[in-house]
Amino acid sequence: MCFLSSYYSLVTSNPAFFSDPGTFDHKKFLKACGMSGQSAEEIKKAFKIIDQDNSGFIEEEELKLFLQNFKAGARALTDAETKTFLQAVDTDGDGKIGADEFAAMVKA
């Protein structure tokens, strides 16, 4: 995924995201990752990778493991980080992130 192209710079310039609880900021993360410049197709692919059970939504549990999609062995997000992230992205309030909400987040 995109992520792969800018992945190394993301990991090396922001190691705290992956190791230090409480440091995650999805806006900074996506910016560092360079996802906003990705095509709709790339964004869809990224969504599918994060949607591990293929349900068509990123549920809280999948969001929690978000960082592990980028770096093997990365920490899980804390409950507080997961909730903040979810609330910021879940615009229709159903408690999970749909593909359209994901795309809107990436483009924001």
Question: Annotation-wise, does 92 bind a ligand?
Answer: yes
Least distance CB 96 / Ca ion (angstroms): 5
Question: Annotation-wise, does 53 bind a ligand?
Answer: yes
Q: How far is CA 49 from CA 57, 63, 69, 97, 106, in A?
A: 11, 11, 7, 13, 15
Query: Which residues in this chain contact Ca ion in the complex, by CB under 5 A?
Result: 51, 53, 55, 59, 90, 92, 94
CB closer to Ca ion out of 81 and 101: 101
Q: Which two tokens stand for residue 36?
A: 């906003």
Does residue 59 contact residue 70 with C-beta atoms inside 8 Å?
no
Does residue 7 contact residue 70 with C-beta atoms inside 8 Å?
yes
CB closer to Ca ion out of 10 and 67: 67
Question: Annotation-wise, does 25 bind a ligand?
Answer: no
Q: Which two tokens stand for residue 59?
A: 């549920």
Least distance CB 7 / Ca ion (angstroms): 22
CB closer to Ca ion out of 10 and 81: 81
Annotated binding site for Ca(2+), which residues?
51, 53, 55, 57, 62, 90, 92, 94, 96, 101
